Structure 1
Amino acid sequence: MREQYRTHDGGLLEADLPTHPMEQFTRWFKQAAAPGSPTAEPNAMVVSTADAEGRPSSRTVLLKSYDDEGFVFYTNYGSRKALDLAANPQVALLFPWHPMSRQVLVTGTAARTSRQETAAYFHSRPHGSQLGAWASAQSSVLADRTELDASYAELAERYPPGSAVPVPPHWGGFRVTPRTVEFWQGRENRLHDRLRYVAAGDGAWRVERLSP
């Protein structure tokens, strides 16, 4: 099970990169999300955390926004990933854009977004997703599926469509401030391009090429 990676744009060269990694991320993200792109859910990313004892875990979540300050996702603050981040804010992100023979790998630290930012995003969600944030005590053990369904049904009766759903106090965002951002472009014969931005302080970044 091996595929020969090919690129039709000459690969990834240092001369092609802007000075800030988020500008390069924007270029690739727009290509991954463009109409006709073979990449499904380009905002899906693997978030890897470790708890206070160093035990790692990973899961796929959806990127909801990004800017020069970093990458934002939302979750239940009682979930495993949120509890990991409370004990150890070091985090890694992976965007696996396999159909384009590309990956973006990020390391950095996570911090909670403001309640104002969280509320603005929460109220932009579909009504059912707002109810789901209340219904699910994420990562906790359920007796069975009916327990979850009953919780949702009770909330749906309390907050019918068109009614205002309050923001759960136990739910909100994390912003990952990057320390490194690596852009990986697959090339033939496993001679891939790996260009990594490293934070150099005072808002500056240096770029280094890694051996594949």
Structure 2
Amino acid sequence: MSSNAADWANSPGDEAKRPKKLIFAPGDIDPSITDASIPSAPDTVAPSTAAAHLVTESLRSGVSTPSSTTESQMVAHPARAHQFVSNPPLTVSQMHPTNPLHQFHNWFRDPRLLPSSAPETCTLATASWPSGRVSARVVYLKELDERGWVIYSNWGSREGKGGQVFGTKNLSSTGSNGDVPAPMPDLSGTHDEPILTDNNYTPSSDGSGNRWAALTFNWSGLERQVRVEGLIEPLSREESEVYWRTRERGSQIGAWASWQSKVLWTAEPASLIERRRKSLAQEVGSSAPVIPGDVDETDIDDGRAMLENRVREMEKKFDGVENIPLPPFWGGVRLVPESVEFWQGRRSRLHDRFRYVRGESQWRVQRLSP
């Protein structure tokens, strides 16, 4: 370890300025450094009652915060994290020469990708415009075609990914107060238009959304990732209907019932702590006010009841309906790629990375530095 690193780790003046660590280099810390060797911070307020003690314990983070001394020990020991040595390297000869979608298909069919590992799981990232705020969520790939990657979800929420991708301008409310999910925008003819590229598509600040998005697959058993960047286009209602018919009835009811990303309930921390304090005080026989026995203040209405009421309403609405219709705000979108990267882990983090980049009439293949 360099002297500069040691000075930084042991500098008492800087220690107070650094944020409290909740996790520090998981998997990298030497096994000899245990929680027992890390001094715990003293309680700032001594519990005065059994109830207060229980509240303190229930709110404690349960993790150790390394002191400046243990930081010095940590950075002085070599890392023991995973070193990516169990799989063969990736070379350009293994890449499909002309099409990243075919290359993805080859990787996805690898027999080492067991169905139980849910290899279709991926992370979809979108960004609001013009703020640039990014959000990501785990979704399931449902289709791969010659044009791109297809996922299905609720896109009618102005607060969620629908508002980011299609914008508040296109997601005009179907309700007077804006509480009803809006229909997906009808972009008929999209499939017949030239594929949008970074040269002819720029998000607008007029509320029409930002169709740039990214999709990432992580197959840790094979030490592989696939990173897709491109533009989102909605599927036609007819295309979405095909997949909708494969969903089990409960999922169809749930799709109708959920106003995705709408806030159902809000509480301030102080009120939750006070409820917990009263409940624990009753349990330990404190002198705190007695709560009636038929009232469990730890099981307060947190908005779940509203959702379940919506489910019951939809079950009643579609009672006797054999084929539940596709909601106007629910459907499929396709991520049309501008670039696709195939990543293979290698020893010492010197990973193999090959990226396909869309050109005027064909894909270029590039090797990227790890």
TM-score, length-normalised on structure 1?
0.92
2:231 alignment partner, one of 109, 119, 122: 109
Checking the alignment, whether the CA contact within 8 Å between 1:77 and 1:171 is kept in structure 2 is yes
Deviation of 1:4 (Å): 1.1
Deviation of 1:154 (Å): 2.2
Deviation of 1:38 (Å): 8.2
Partner of 1:47: 124
Partner of 1:148: 307
Identify unmatched segments of 5+ residues in structure 1.
Answer: none
Checking the alignment, whether the CA contact within 8 Å between 2:112 and 2:222 is kept in structure 1 is no
Deviation of 1:30 (Å): 1.3
> Which one-letter code corresponds to 2:232 in the other structure?
A
Deviation of 1:11 (Å): 1.2
Checking the alignment, whether the CA contact within 8 Å between 1:7 and 1:186 is kept in structure 2 is no
SS at match of 2:359: strand
Matches within 5 A, 1:21-60: 21-31=100-110, 34=111, 37=114, 40-52=117-129, 53-60=131-138
Identify unmatched segments of 5+ residues in structure 2.
Answer: 1-26, 28-80, 167-208, 266-302
What are the Cα deviations for residues 102-155 of structure 1, in whole angstroms up to 9, with x where unaligned? 000010000111010011111111111111110000010113001111111222
Partner of 1:134: 256
Checking the alignment, whether the CA contact within 8 Å between 1:134 and 1:168 is kept in structure 2 is yes
Partner of 1:63: 141
Separation in 2 of the partners of 1:134 and 1:196? 39
Deviation of 1:78 (Å): 2.1
Separation in 2 of the partners of 1:13 and 1:160? 57
Equivalent residues, number = 208
Matches within 5 A, 1:1-212: 1=27, 2-8=81-87, 10-18=88-96, 19-31=98-110, 34=111, 37=114, 40-52=117-129, 53-79=131-157, 80-86=160-166, 87-143=209-265, 144-160=303-319, 163-202=322-361, 204-212=362-370
Separation in 2 of the partners of 1:30 and 1:5? 21
Checking the alignment, whether the CA contact within 8 Å between 2:155 and 2:329 is kept in structure 1 is yes
Deviation of 1:169 (Å): 0.7
Checking the alignment, whether the CA contact within 8 Å between 1:39 and 1:97 is kept in structure 2 is no
Stretch moving more, 155-164 or 189-198: 155-164
Separation in 1 of the partners of 2:223 and 2:127? 28
> Which one-letter code corresponds to 2:343 in the other structure?
W
Give aligned-pair identity as a percent.
Answer: 42
Checking the alignment, whether the CA contact within 8 Å between 1:71 and 1:177 is kept in structure 2 is yes
Deviation of 1:157 (Å): 3.0
Checking the alignment, whether the CA contact within 8 Å between 1:45 and 1:63 is kept in structure 2 is yes
Separation in 2 of the partners of 1:35 and 1:121? 27
